Amino acid sequence: MKNFGLRLAINALALYLAVGTGWIPYIHAENTQWWAYFVMALIFAVVNAVLGPLLKLLTCPLIFLTLGLFTLVINTLLFYVTGWLGSLIGSGFGFEIEKVWAGFLGALLVGIVNTVLTLVFRRELKTA
């Protein structure tokens, strides 16, 4: 459970940096309170766990042909779905992406932050 909590916090921070800081224009959070990013991270985790493997399986030939670069497109799509589902739930847990390139950069930033923080906390993640 500690492992899940730390991963959720890493996702929340990554989503805050991509959505809440304004670093990437054309992405706007519906709710900017700190706890809303944890709900967004939970939605993001569910979307990645359910749709991520399915999309990667269905697009395996494209991933192979592009030497893995098509996973960036899949991550962008999952980022869009997270924002859309958060809006559907209500209470402002989603975010709006106005331009495709902004969604791509947001997904890229979330991926980079997740990778770096997972490497920083790898010892804590292994022991949990």
The domain total for the chain is 1
**Rounded Cα–Cα distance for residues 82 and 48 (Å):** 9
**pLDDT tens digits for the chain (128 residues)?**
678 899 999 999 999 999 999 899 999 998 888 899 999 999 999 999 999 999 999 999 999 999 999 999 999 999 999 999 998 887 778 899 999 999 999 999 999 999 999 999 988 888 75
pLDDT at 125: 81
Report the C-alpha gap between 38 and 74 in whole angstroms. 22
CB 15 within 8 A of CB 41: yes
pTM for the structure as a whole = 0.91
**CB atoms near residue 50 (< 10 Å):** 12
pLDDT for 32 equals 85
Nearest of 33, 19, 7 to residue 109 by alpha carbon: 19
Range of the domain at 34: 2-127
